[in-house]
Structure 1
């Protein structure tokens, strides 16, 4: 039974690493939020909302790229 799981182990390690990096990126942005707001001259909640909009747009673009790639 364990022999069947071994071929998937490298993929699992890659997915785990990606999840770690995404989580770390969110924490870093949260720490930089006051500096981002000050640099842009906007309020802290507005800076958080702008970053949220950017992340949603990035995920949407990634989905669109995946769909276009599937059509090829």
Structure 2
């Protein structure tokens, strides 16, 4: 059985609202809500992305929002 990252747990550990998490990590808000409410499960790529967010959220944020040079 595949282990699905607990999206709500990751988001709360970061102290972010659903809207903030979705915006910061470029996840559609409706998709995030579906995952958190158990209506849908993340696919394999999304699960991998959530694992990376959970382990190193700053690196993901930096990759998605690079500082201006």
Common fold, TM-score beyond 0.5?
Answer: no
Pick the structure with more helix per residue: 1
TM-score by length of 1: 0.26
TM-score by length of 2: 0.26
